[in-house]
Chain A
């Protein structure tokens, strides 16, 4: 029996059509797109086509607004650092507490360099307070960077509205849309978003290629200077094969957009309902009414996530966890902590993320596999006794250290 892959927010299988499209660019059409001769010229035309496919997926007005990069992280760094470089008189960045480390670590670094960083808090469902956000929009803010969808819970932020608010205040708005692109329809030309980051490998393209969308007219300072590639906005020889793959992946993502929001969503809902119907003391984290169609993040109380993953892995099911142990840190996921999920549950969160390749059979298998694993681990837990948590867990088990 093949293994079940429910970790598509981490990375995805490369689409077969995508692989076929990129292969000739390793051996037959290996030219440098900057070259004048026919070897290079062919590649240049293929890149143009890929750029237009991405433009279409994002609903961008011009294909020159698409800049290919090496990954989502590079796009994030380029966007935020560009905004600061281009507006040296502005020293403040606004972001959220639940961003991906690609943005959060950079912002922490900027704070240590003397910039002011406002991290918008979230409520228990992972939602932002827009009145609070509005109160922070002043002339010192160089850029607002807010993720479109959260990678752990799938919760969607109202980035289009937030971008409008920033734009009206004359502030650049960047969104890390790595998890959203390909899963939710995006129409940038009718938005006020100035910059957007995406990553190829989250939408069935290979790893090592990303995109920065840069609205025409947005002041920009490149991160990498050198050759004239990407109109001088991202120097370095193009990763031609992967960019071409990215283009095809973008086309395929548009084709599957409806499937993602109907069939994938149905399977996700079935998985969630199936598990929650049988496993007590478990709940969905984030905002269930406003999230990506493919993501289910479930907290299993009184047990630890890594242990769950190891046992799932043993029966051929791949998922991921926000537990401290899976990352090697001592704190559980910053996203769970930000939502004020109690430690007894935060360590036991498991993220199931589906894709267009997920089948009904696979979901049935996972629904059957999860309850006994949770029961097995609870049997070992000092917070669990018989068929429920011990009475007053905080008192019944009070460790000496800690």
Chain B
């Protein structure tokens, strides 16, 4: 059975605000019956102040769907609509002391219901940008639609790329077969053939260093040496790489900023949700890998904390 937190169990066994609110003037219906989750959120909003006076839910769904709905209604009561809209799905999950990765979509559904209810109250049309596929990476809860979209948008061609862009496959690696399958299909669709990375037990940490000191090689195999870049060109190239990675980080409410370049050391600052994220070191690893590939030289990406950054600027 799922590893539900005590808080999830509490909100499932004794849900708060179950049922529709009398005199509701904001209703949000979300979910999909085929997925087994559907939620109706009813709010009573004070038309003068936009404050949510009461909230109720009706949910067709599993334990965590019911708990997420209950949590959401507790969280929004007393807030203005604008403040309520700031609640992210992560906030709902945090309120419940976390949800299993397979169940994060329950918190997403809560956030979507809130958006739908507010749109309903304001008489707005809500754009349906929701799409969800079967889970591929269980470590980081990344589904197939996300993997496919990211491969298409960024023309990715390796499992490593997919991990760098989406985190999928960055944990236990059991899903690499699934990622390879999606890559094979997507590459075929754009007329390319998927080529697997060479088999290697150890991560090639040392390899780029060796490449930096090219050994005399047979002429036929000698790689074309990357043209020497000026400092400005180099920094621009680094900025371009970071800009390419940025959308992925922003999807997780994070961001990255280039602080300084000092020889092989590239100083960056992770901001937003990236700060203190357990994934930060992996994200940095991904950025470093991309930079090494793009610049054709070994570089080291060093995170700079806000304080250290201030000091550096002094």
Chain A residues in the interface with B (C-beta under 8 A): 302-307, 309-311, 313-314, 323-326, 328-332, 343-344, 347, 379-383, 397-402
Which stretch, B54-62, B252-260, B262-270, B284-292, touches the partner chain A? B54-62
Given A307-B66, A343-B34, A379-B19, also A400-B126 (CB < 8 A): yes
Q: Considering the chains assembled together, what is the distance between the CA atoms of A398 and B37 in angstroms?
A: 12
| Contacting pair A313 B1 (CB below 8 A) | yes
Choose among B32, B60, B126 the residue that contacts A304 (Cβ–Cβ < 8 A). Answer: B60
Choose among B102, B128, B132 the residue that contacts A328 (Cβ–Cβ < 8 A). Answer: B102
Given A307-B12, A400-B128, A401-B130, also A383-B60 (CB < 8 A): yes
Residues from chain B with Cβ under 8 Å of A326 in the complex: 62
Least CB distance, A50 to chain B, in whole angstroms = 34
Residues from 77 to 130 in B contacting A, C-beta threshold 8 Å: 102-103, 112, 116, 126, 128, 130
| Contacting pair A330 B132 (CB below 8 A) | yes
Given A303-B60, A380-B15, also A331-B128 (CB < 8 A): no
22 inter-chain pairs at a CB distance below 8 angstroms, sorted by A residue, are A303-B60, A309-B1, A323-B36, A325-B36, A325-B61, A325-B63, A325-B64, A328-B102, A329-B135, A330-B35, A331-B35, A347-B36, A380-B18, A381-B59, A383-B60, A399-B32, A399-B39, A400-B29, A400-B30, A400-B128, A401-B30, A402-B30
Apart from A304-B37, A347-B33, A379-B18, what 20 extra A-B contacts exist at CB < 8 Å? A302-B60, A304-B60, A304-B65, A307-B62, A310-B1, A324-B35, A325-B37, A325-B62, A325-B65, A328-B138, A381-B59, A382-B38, A382-B60, A397-B29, A397-B40, A398-B29, A399-B33, A400-B112, A401-B130, A402-B33
Closest chain B residue to A112, Cβ basis: B181
Q: Considering the chains assembled together, what is the distance between the CA atoms of A243 and B30 in angstroms?
A: 52
Q: Does B195 contact A (CB under 8 A)?
A: no
Choose among A330, A380, A399 the residue that contacts B66 (Cβ–Cβ < 8 A). Answer: A380
Q: Digit string of B224-251 for contact with A (CB within 8 Å is 1, else 0)? A: 0000000000000000000000000000
Choose among A306, A324, A401 the residue that contacts B63 (Cβ–Cβ < 8 A). Answer: A306
Q: Does B303 contact A (CB under 8 A)?
A: no
Least CB distance, B39 to chain A, in whole angstroms = 7
Residues from chain A with Cβ under 8 Å of B38 in the complex: 382-383, 397, 399, 402
Q: Does B31 contact A (CB under 8 A)?
A: yes
Least CB distance, B223 to chain A, in whole angstroms = 36
Among all A-B residue pairs, the 5 with the closest Cβ atoms: A402-B32, A325-B62, A306-B62, A382-B58, A328-B102
Q: Considering the chains assembled together, what is the distance between the CA atoms of A329 and B103 in angstroms?
A: 10
| Contacting pair B12 A402 (CB below 8 A) | no
| Contacting pair B65 A382 (CB below 8 A) | no
Q: Considering the chains assembled together, what is the distance between the CA atoms of A381 and B59 in angstroms?
A: 5
Residues from chain B with Cβ under 8 Å of A344 in the complex: 33, 60
Least CB distance, B122 to chain A, in whole angstroms = 14
Residues from chain A with Cβ under 8 Å of B63 in the complex: 306-307, 310, 325
Residues from chain B with Cβ under 8 Å of A347 in the complex: 33, 36, 60
Q: Considering the chains assembled together, what is the distance between the CA atoms of A332 and B126 in angstroms?
A: 28
Q: Considering the chains assembled together, what is the distance between the CA atoms of A309 and B1 in angstroms?
A: 10
**Interface residue count on the B side (C-beta < 8 Å):** 41
Residues from chain B with Cβ under 8 Å of A323 in the complex: 36, 62
| Contacting pair B36 A330 (CB below 8 A) | yes
Residues from chain A with Cβ under 8 Å of B57 in the complex: 380
Choose among B31, B135, B138 the residue that contacts A399 (Cβ–Cβ < 8 A). Answer: B31
Closest chain A residue to B18, Cβ basis: A380
Residues from 24 to 75 in B contacting A, C-beta threshold 8 Å: 28-40, 57-66
Q: Considering the chains assembled together, what is the distance between the CA atoms of A112 and B126 in angstroms?
A: 40
Q: Does B174 contact A (CB under 8 A)?
A: no
| Contacting pair B19 A382 (CB below 8 A) | no
Least CB distance, A315 to chain B, in whole angstroms = 11
Residues from chain B with Cβ under 8 Å of A309 in the complex: 1
Closest chain B residue to A347, Cβ basis: B36
Residues from chain B with Cβ under 8 Å of A311 in the complex: 13
Q: Considering the chains assembled together, what is the distance between the CA atoms of A344 and B35 in angstroms?
A: 10
Choose among A302, A329, A397, A402 the residue that contacts B134 (Cβ–Cβ < 8 A). Answer: A329
Q: Considering the chains assembled together, what is the distance between the CA atoms of A334 and B59 in angstroms?
A: 23
| Contacting pair B28 A400 (CB below 8 A) | yes
Q: Considering the chains assembled together, what is the distance between the CA atoms of A329 and B62 in angstroms?
A: 12
Residues from chain B with Cβ under 8 Å of A343 in the complex: 33-34, 36
Least CB distance, B145 to chain A, in whole angstroms = 11
Least CB distance, A216 to chain B, in whole angstroms = 38
Closest chain B residue to A314, Cβ basis: B13
| Contacting pair B29 A399 (CB below 8 A) | yes
Closest chain A residue to B135, Cβ basis: A328
Residues from chain A with Cβ under 8 Å of B128 in the complex: 400-401
Residues from chain A with Cβ under 8 Å of B103 in the complex: 325
Q: Considering the chains assembled together, what is the distance between the CA atoms of A380 and B66 in angstroms?
A: 8
| Contacting pair A310 B65 (CB below 8 A) | no
| Contacting pair B31 A380 (CB below 8 A) | no
Choose among A305, A306, A310, A382 the residue that contacts B39 (Cβ–Cβ < 8 A). Answer: A382
Least CB distance, A154 to chain B, in whole angstroms = 23
Closest chain B residue to A337, Cβ basis: B34
Choose among A307, A313, A329 the residue that contacts B61 (Cβ–Cβ < 8 A). Answer: A307
Q: Considering the chains assembled together, what is the distance between the CA atoms of A314 and B19 in angstroms?
A: 23
Residues from chain A with Cβ under 8 Å of B30 in the complex: 399-402
Closest chain B residue to A344, Cβ basis: B33
Q: Considering the chains assembled together, what is the distance between the CA atoms of A314 and B66 in angstroms?
A: 16
Q: Considering the chains assembled together, what is the distance between the CA atoms of A399 and B27 in angstroms?
A: 11
Q: Considering the chains assembled together, what is the distance between the CA atoms of A329 and B13 in angstroms?
A: 23
Closest chain A residue to B8, Cβ basis: A310
Q: Considering the chains assembled together, what is the distance between the CA atoms of A375 and B124 in angstroms?
A: 36
Closest chain B residue to A346, Cβ basis: B36
Q: Considering the chains assembled together, what is the distance between the CA atoms of A326 and B63 in angstroms?
A: 10
Given A303-B60, A344-B33, A382-B60, also A400-B116 (CB < 8 A): yes
Closest chain A residue to B60, Cβ basis: A381
Residues from chain A with Cβ under 8 Å of B133 in the complex: 330
